């Protein structure tokens, strides 16, 4: 919710062998990676996250036989387009920053290398969910780089001023939004281009848009969990409790939060970095609270968005896949590299994918932003990692599906259609899309 582009969310990606049959195809070879016998191996690496250039410099300084050549891409969505073109042209980089929702699609296109034999012995160093994010059909196609603890950040000063407690449920969240509305304040922001709000609430509610049913994919955008999430979103939209600021003007979105125009965000640690870097007025006024639950349900946070949950993928055309796997492992496990990326000042404020990451929470949470609320915020972050959804599946046409959903979500935000109308369209569209790709599907 309120996820800026690029969206970086984490969730468990699972596929079945026969469900991908007909999609897996050989990817043309490329010259990615210098395989000359003399001199160090040079590995092209594409990414977008703040701090990665510093990590690359540290890697190159400490390695004589392997060197990384880093290219910064504008954002995650740009990455998918540029990587598509590079794969078609046969000149994809060896290493690519990406997130869990795209792994299945890239495997289906034959773009990624199976690096299981190079990394499988390192499994115990990572938390189970993060490790799975780089895996398809039990094979590893990259190394996880981060986890995604999710929580609410809110303007504690405004909540106190208007006598509102931090919402613990979505019902309380809507009620708080109605109070804030009377004072010209929106409780949340729905960017018209970003339907991840619907995705993560559906995920939290136990929905399964994609699932494996025998030898086919089962598609269901209208299950009970999704409809429960839709009801919450529709009530927020109908009551005009949300701002409608596009992340295309990122600075304007940040000014709105800083000026108190919008009072909460459901986010992960990495999004706090943008707040720290852009705010000028509201430092110390923010606090964290757990992600709201559905009434009567236990705490459960979406694994998304994610989705920070980044992975460093190795492409199939890379001539030096073992060295690429070694470099990816170093960037995800080296203490200095992890601290650089965990800090909202030097990196993106991402939580590492390591099995024991509690010690990095102080690095990932901004004392400048939270002020007196800094210490209690750390426990909220730690607790959120214990309630993360682990049974969400990304489908083989996720990229295309999400693009289609973006157009419909914009109409939801502008009240041109309802959430349930969007879901009905996505059900029909996704089934037809999978069939057009030759994939067995039920739905």
pLDDT in tens, 292-312: 999 888 777 776 544 446 899
Q: Which residues does residue 112 pair with via DSSP β-bridges, in sequence order?
A: 315
Residue 278 has pLDDT above 70, yes or no: yes
Token code pair at residue 337: 């590299």
pLDDT for residue 19: 40
pLDDT for residue 35: 46
pLDDT for residue 160: 98
Euclidean distance between CA atoms 21 and 18, whole angstroms: 5
Cβ-count burial 55-75 (b if 16+ within 10 Å, e if not)? bbebbbeebeebbbbbeebee
Mean pLDDT of all residues belonging to the chain: 88
Q: How many CB atoms lie within 10 A of CB 182?
A: 8
User: 180-233 pLDDT, tens per residue?
Assistant: 999 999 999 999 999 999 999 999 999 999 988 888 999 999 999 999 999 999
Question: 164 vs 356, which has greater pLDDT?
Answer: 164
Averaged over 416-431, what is the pLDDT? 98
CA 306 to chain centre: 2
Residue 372 has pLDDT above 70, yes or no: yes
- pTM for the predicted model, two decimal places: 0.79
pLDDT confidence bin for 261, thresholds 50/70/90: very high
- State the Cα angle at 170 between 169 and 172, rounded to 5°: 65
Residue 327 has pLDDT above 60, yes or no: yes
Token code pair at residue 196: 């991840």
* Residue 409: half-sphere exposure toward Cβ, Cα within 13 Å: 21
Least confident piece of the model among 24-33, 145-154, 327-336, 337-346: 24-33
pLDDT for residue 51: 93
Residue 6 has pLDDT above 50, yes or no: no
129 near 39, Cβ under 8 Å? no
Q: How many CB atoms lie within 10 A of CB 256?
A: 16
Of 98, 145, 125, residue with least CA distance to 394: 98
pLDDT for residue 140: 96
pLDDT for residue 108: 82
Residue 396 has pLDDT above 50, yes or no: yes
Residue 7 has pLDDT above 70, yes or no: no
Question: 64 vs 346, which has greater pLDDT?
Answer: 64
What are the residues whose beta carbons fall under 8 Å from the beta carbon of 434, sequence distance 6 or more? 217, 219, 395, 396, 397, 441
Cβ-count burial 8-47 (b if 16+ within 10 Å, e if not)? bbbbbbbbbeebbeebeeebeebebbbeeeeeebbbbbbb
pLDDT for residue 212: 81
pLDDT for residue 38: 64
User: 8-65 pLDDT, tens per residue?
Assistant: 333 333 333 334 443 333 333 344 565 445 679 999 999 998 899 999 999 999 999 9
Euclidean distance between CA atoms 52 and 70, whole angstroms: 8
Crossing angle of helices 335-342/321-333, nearest 10°? 60
pLDDT confidence bin for 399, thresholds 50/70/90: confident
CA dihedral 360, 365, 367, 372 (to 10 degrees): -110
Share of the chain above pLDDT 70, in %: 89
Q: Which residues does residue 266 pair with via DSSP β-bridges, in sequence order?
A: 152
pLDDT for residue 426: 98
β-pairing verdict for 95-99 and 41-47: parallel
Euclidean distance between CA atoms 443 and 432, whole angstroms: 10
pLDDT for residue 268: 85
21 near 319, Cβ under 8 Å? no
């Amino acid at each position: 919710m309120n996820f800026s582009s690029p969206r970086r969310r984490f969730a468990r990606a699972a596929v079945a062998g026969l469900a991908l049959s007909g999609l897996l195809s050989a990817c043309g070879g490329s010259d990615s990676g210098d395989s000359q016998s003399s001199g160090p191996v040079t590995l092209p690496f594409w990414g977008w996250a703040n701090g990665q250039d510093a990590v690359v410099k540290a890697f190159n300084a400490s390695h004589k036989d392997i060197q990384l050549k880093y290219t910064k891409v504008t954002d995650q969505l740009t990455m998918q387009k540029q990587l598509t073109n590079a794969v078609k042209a046969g000149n994809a980089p060896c290493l690519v920053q990406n997130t869990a929702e795209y792994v299945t699609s890239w495997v289906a296109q034959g773009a990624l290398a199976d690096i299981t034999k190079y990394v499988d012995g390192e499994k115990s160093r990572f938390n189970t969910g993060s490790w799975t994010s780089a895996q398809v059909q039990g094979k590893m196609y990259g190394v996880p780089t981060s986890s995604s603890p999710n929580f609410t950040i809110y303007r504690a000063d405004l909540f106190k001023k208007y006598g509102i407690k931090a919402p613990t449920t979505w019902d309380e969240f809507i009620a708080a939004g109605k109070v804030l509305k009377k004072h010209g304040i929106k409780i949340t922001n729905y960017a018209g281009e970003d339907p991840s709000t619907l995705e993560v609430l559906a995920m939290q509610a136990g929905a399964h848009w994609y699932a494996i049913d025998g030898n086919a994919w089962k598609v269901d955008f209208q299950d009970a969990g999704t409809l429960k999430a839709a009801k919450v979103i529709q009530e927020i939209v109908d009551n005009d409790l949300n701002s409608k600021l596009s992340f295309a003007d990122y600075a304007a979105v940040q000014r709105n939060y800083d000026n108190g125009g919008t009072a909460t965000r459901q986010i992960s640690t990495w999004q706090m970095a943008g707040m720290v870097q852009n705010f000028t007025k509201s430092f110390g006024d923010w606090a964290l609270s757990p992600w709201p639950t559905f009434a009567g349900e236990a705490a459960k946070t979406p694994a998304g968005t994610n989705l920070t949950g980044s992975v460093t993928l190795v492409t199939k055309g890379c001539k030096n896949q073992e060295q690429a796997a070694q470099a990816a492992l170093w960037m995800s496990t080296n203490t200095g590299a992890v601290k650089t990326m965990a800090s909202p000042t030097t990196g993106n404020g991402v939580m590492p994918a390591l099995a024991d990451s509690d010690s990095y929470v102080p690095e990932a949470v901004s004392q400048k932003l939270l002020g007196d609320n800094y210490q209690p915020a750390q426990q909220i972050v730690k607790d959120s990692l214990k309630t993360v959804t682990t049974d969400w599946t990304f489908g083989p046409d996720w990229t295309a599906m999400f693009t289609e959903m973006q157009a419909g979500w914009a109409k939801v935000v502008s009240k041109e259609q309802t959430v349930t109308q969007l879901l009905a369209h996505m059900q029909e569209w996704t089934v037809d899309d999978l069939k057009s790709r030759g994939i067995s599907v039920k739905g």
